[in-house]
Structure 1
C-alpha cells in the first residue's frame, strides 16, 4: 500500500460517503462484497471501486479477498471498531431529526438494582426542578451495556465496575465518573437457622443451597472470589438468576441463600422478607460509575444526569 502525506489522506477522506463506511460494516457482517453490494443496491464494480477508495483513504489494506468472499483484515477490524460508534451516532441523529419532539433523547443503560432505588430518586428531583431530560432506559449486564455504549447504541451507562474493567484497553474510549459504592451481602430467610447466628464462617455456607447470578456476571465473580480468597471452593448454584429482587423473594420462601447488592438486601430486610448474614470475612463492595463515550454526543442532559447521580450517590448505600 502506497504512503500518502497527511494532506493527501485528508483529501481522500473528504471524498468518502456514508455508503463507504457502511461497506466496511456490511463486509464484516456478510463476509462478501457481493452481498454488501446487494444490501447497498450497488453493482459489484461500484462496490469494488468503493473498497479501493476506502483503502486509499485509510492508507491500509482493509479487505482480504477469499475463496468464499471477503473479510476484514486486522486493519479493517480496527477501523470498524472506531467507525461503529460514528455510524450508531448517525442513526441516532436521523431518528432524532425525524422525531416530533425537539428535545434530544438520552439512551441510558442502568442495572436493575439502581433502577429500583437510585434512579427513581434522581428522576423525582430533576422533575421537581424542571430539568428532567427525555430518556430511554435499557437494562442488561454491566459488560453488555458497556459494549452497547462502546458501539454507540447507548449514550451513557450507570454501571457497576471494578478496577480491572476500568483499566481494560477495550474501554479506553470511555469516561468514568464515580457515583457511589454499593456492597454485597449474603441473605437468608428470617427464620433460617443461620439468621440466629453472628459471625457466620464461609465454610458453613458451603453446606447450603444457593441462588446465584450467571457465571458471566460481575456479582458471580465477586462471590467466587470471596471463597477462593479463603482457599475454599465456590458454592455451586442450585438456581441461576440475575434478578436480585426475584432471588430475594425466593430466599424468603425457601431455605436457600443468595448474594445481592446491599441496597437490595437492606430494602428487603426492612420489609421483613430476608435477613442479612454477618460473615467472618471482609465485606465486598461494588463501585458504581456514570460512564460516557469520549467521542459521544455532548448533550446538556448528560451533564445534568451525571451531576444528579453524584449528588444522590452519597446517600445511596444503606448502612
Structure 2
C-alpha cells in the first residue's frame, strides 16, 4: 500500500476547500507539507487528482471518484482509532438542517447530545432543503435533517417524523373571521411564501398543485420569522409548519385558517451520503432524534 492516511487527509481537505493553504490550516500543517503530501500521492500513482486553476484546486473526474472512497476510509480509520484506544463513543458531528428543523428542533437536540456525551461538539448549518442536500453530497456535513422529499443515487434518505403545514393570517385580516376558506378566497388572497427549493414550499405546491399557478404570490422570503412578521403586518396570508406557529397562536398575533379538502401533511427525513461511514456519533444522533419525536 503506497498511500498514507495523512495523504488522504490532505486530499479530502483540498477537495473541500479547493485551496491548499486553507486545507493545510484545517489540518494544522504547513502549506509546504500539505502540498508535498498531495504531490507525493499523485506521483506515487502517476495520476492527477485536481485541475490547477491559479491557486484554486478543482477535482477532476478521477478525483471525484476517489473522494467518497477516501472519506469512507478516513471515517473508518478514525472509528478504528477510537476503538483501539478504548473510547468507542460518539464524537463531534456536523449537522445540516432546514430552517424549520434548525430553528425549532435541532438546537435542543444539539444541547442534549453534548450533555449526554461530554466533550463533544455539534456544529449546525441551517439552510433550505436544496442547500442542505448539496452540502451532504459535498461531504461538508455528516448528516442532514430535511423537510422536502429528495431522490438522488448517491444519497441515503430515511423517514423521520410527520409534520403538518398550517395556513394563517393576521387577526385583523378580512379572512380571519371566516370559519372556512373556499377556493375563491385562496385565489383572491395575497400570499407570502418561502422561496423555491425549500421543503415547505415544495409541500405547499404539491398540496395545491391544481391551483398553485394561479395564486397571487406577492412576496417570497427565505426565513420563517420574516414571513410571520410580514403576515402580522397585514401584507398577506401564508402557510408554514405548525411547529413554527405555536407561540404566535398562543399570543394571538396570528390566527389559523381552515381549508377543507386539502391534506397539508408531510414528513421530515434524515439524509446522508451512501459512501459516508455511519460513525457511532451519527448512530447516536439518529437514535436521539427518533426518541425526541417518539418515532
| Distance of aligned partners of 1:217 and 1:234 in 2 relative to their CA distance in 1, 3 Å threshold | farther
Tell me the CA shift for residue 237 of structure 1: 3.0
Aligned to 2:173: 192
Aligned to 1:113: 100
Aligned to 2:199: 218
Stretches of structure 1 that go unaligned for 5 or more consecutive residues are: 1-10, 31-38, 92-101
Tell me the CA shift for residue 51 of structure 1: 4.9
- TM-score between the two structures when normalised by the length of structure 2: 0.70
Matches of 1:249 and 1:192 in 2, distance apart? Answer: 14
Kept in 2, the 8 Å contact 1:188–1:258? The answer is yes
How many residues align? The count is: 271
Tell me the CA shift for residue 260 of structure 1: 0.8
SS at match of 1:117: helix
Find the partner of 2:143 among 150, 156, 169: 156
Matches of 2:201 and 2:214 in 1, distance apart? Answer: 10
Aligned to 1:168: 152
Aligned to 1:94: none
Stretches of structure 2 that go unaligned for 5 or more consecutive residues are: 21-29, 79-88
Find out whether 1:240 has 2:214 as its counterpart: no
Matches of 2:90 and 2:168 in 1, distance apart? Answer: 43
Find the partner of 2:164 among 180, 183, 186: 183
Find the partner of 1:230 among 210, 225, 229: 210
Find out whether 1:276 has 2:263 as its counterpart: no
Matches of 1:160 and 1:208 in 2, distance apart? Answer: 25
SS at match of 1:273: coil
- 1:150-185, Cα deviation, whole Å (9 max, x unpaired): 3222122222232xx1x42142xx3x4433111112
Matches of 1:298 and 1:219 in 2, distance apart? Answer: 30
Tell me the CA shift for residue 261 of structure 1: 0.8
SS at match of 1:104: coil
- TM-score between the two structures when normalised by the length of structure 1: 0.65
Aligned residue runs from structure 1 range 78-97, under 5 A = 78-80=65-67, 83=70
- 1:91-116, Cα deviation, whole Å (9 max, x unpaired): 9xxxxxxxxxx983222122332244
CA-based RMSD: 4.3
Kept in 2, the 8 Å contact 1:89–1:152? The answer is no
**Greater Rg by CA:** 1
Aligned residue runs from structure 1 range 15-34, under 5 A = 17-18=7-8, 21=11, 25=15
Aligned to 1:290: 270
Kept in 2, the 8 Å contact 1:103–1:134? The answer is no
Find the partner of 1:138 among 112, 125, 129: 125
Aligned to 2:26: none
